[in-house]
Amino acid sequence: KRLGEGAAAARNPLLIEWDQPQFGSLVLHRVLGEGGGSKVWKGLWKGSFVAVKVLKVDPGMCRDALRSFVQEAKILSQIRHPSICTCLGTCMQQGFPAIVLEYLQGGSLHNLLHNREYNADGQPTSAISPRLLCRIALEVATGVAYLHDNSIIHRDVKAANVLLDGKQHAKVTDFGISTKFAPEHTAETGTYRSMAPEVILHKGYDYKCDVYSFGMMLWEIAHQRIPFEEENGLQAAYGVTMEGRRPPVKPKPNLEMLGELIVSCWQQEPAKRPDMDAVVQQLIAIDARVA
Name the site residues for ligand ACK (rule: CB under 6 A): 32-33, 35, 40, 51, 85, 101-104, 107-108, 111, 163, 173
Strand boundaries in the chain, DSSP class E = 27-35, 38-45, 48-55, 87-93, 96-102, 152-153, 162-164, 170-172, 179-180
DSSP three-state, residue 90: strand
Nearest-angstrom CA–CA distance, 180 and 194: 20
| Residue among 103 and 214 whose Cβ is closer to ligand ACK | 103
- Nearest-angstrom CA–CA distance, 45 and 184: 41
Q: Taking the complex as a whole, how short is the minimal distance between the CB of residue 225 and ligand ACK, in angstroms?
A: 18
Contact between residue 32 and residue 43 where contact means Cβ atoms under 8 Å apart: no
Is 53 flagged in the annotation as binding? yes
Task: Work out how close the CB of 38 gets to ligand ACK at its nearest, in angstroms, rounded to a whole number.
Answer: 8
Among 58, 64, 121, 156, the one annotated catalytic? 156
How, if at all, do strands 87-93 and 27-35 pair?
Answer: unpaired
* Residue 103 CB, nearest approach to ligand ACK (Å): 5
Between CA 186 and CA 199 the distance in angstroms is 7
- Pick the closer one to ligand ACK by CB: 33 or 204: 33
Q: What distance in Å separates the CA atoms of residue 4 and residue 18, rounded to the nearest whole number?
A: 8
Active site residue 149: no
- For residue 237, the minimal CB distance to ligand ACK (Å) is 23
SS3 131: helix
Minimal distance in Å, beta carbon 163 to ligand ACK?
A: 5
Nearer to ligand ACK, 173 or 241 (CB): 173
Residue 196 region by backbone torsions, left for phi larger than 0, else alpha for psi between -120 and 50, else beta: beta
Residue nearest to ligand ACK (CB): 33
Q: 276: which DSSP letter?
A: H
Q: How far is CA 224 from the centre of its chain?
A: 18
Nearer to ligand ACK, 80 or 131 (CB): 80
The residue (of 112 and 262) whose beta carbon lies closer to ligand ACK is 112
User: Which residues make up each annotated binding site for ATP?
Assistant: 53
| Residue numbers annotated as active site | 156
